[in-house]
A and B are shown apart, each in its own frame.
Chain A
Amino acid sequence: MKELIETIVKPLVDFPEDVQVNVLEEDHRVTYQLSVNKNDMGKVIGKQGRVANAIRTVVYAAGSSQQKKIFLEISE
């Protein structure tokens, strides 16, 4: 799942080397914390969060087969 997020995000940004995904596992949920270069924030969020929503839709679809609920957070 972590790899999927990196595969989606890296081609979208100017600084792919700054893309990082941290995984936070809890009892019933997994949170993926995506961090990108400050200058790339706009690119992964998009106008009215369009890009962020698209990324989430794809990630949630891939995680639907798993038991735990998946969350994706974006930060600098």
Chain B
Amino acid sequence: MKQVTATGQTVDEAVESALTQLNTTKERVEITIIDKGKKGIFGFFGSRPAVVKAEIKIDPIEEAKGFLKNVAEKMGALIDIEVVQEGKQVSFLLSGEKIALLIGKRGQTLNSLQYLTQLVINRFSDQYITVLLDAEDYRTRRNETLVQLAERLAQKALKSGRDVALEPMPSFERKVIHTALANNARVKTYSDGVEPHRYVVISPVK
């Protein structure tokens, strides 16, 4: 039961009654007053009870965390989730035994889970939230790999004098490549292709 309508002699009493029915506290519900009620004359002529509607507020972060935990469990991986919120970005840091299953080849599974979690969280959130999923520091390790790759391929582009195209990557990984080579004046980088097959091209400056 997520929502109840309650009555009482006053608004306060009606709210009180709604909270008891939902078994929760005032901070966790949203209350709409449907009827303020009327005292009436001598307490009974023309008196009307107060009516309020109380609805349990859904915490989008808790909802998303539960979603991740359920999905991981059904995949056969028991995990712990740590949540870090910074403004509009919410990070879920996963740890557990079978974490490799959740990361997948080149982070494919992790990226898919990240996208699905972002959909779930924004179904319940008022402002748009960006979700970041990380498992056992995978993103940090991947970023280091990407920076190394970028530098190596920049060398290759310079040596051969030709453009070098990387494999398709999600936007946040392409950004790592662009940023890594932003200060290198001898090459320029741009993205080509259409999502989800968009890829970075490293091109030597002539």
Contact = CB atoms under 8 A, between A and B. Distances in A.
Q: Number of contact residues on A: which range applies?
A: 10 to 19
Interface secondary structure of A, over-half rule: helix
Nearest to A3: B74
A58 B115 CA distance: 11
A33 to B, nearest CB: 18
Interface string B25-67: 0000000000000000000000000000000000000010001
B119 interface: yes
A57 B103 CA distance: 11
Contacts, number: 56
B70 A61 contact: no
A61 B135 CA distance: 16
Given A8-B116, A50-B115, A58 B67 contact: no
B97 interface: no
Interface of B: 63, 67, 70-71, 74-76, 101-102, 104, 108-109, 111-113, 115-116, 119-120, 123, 195-196
Interface of A: 3-4, 7-8, 11-12, 48, 50-51, 53-55, 57-58, 61-62, 65
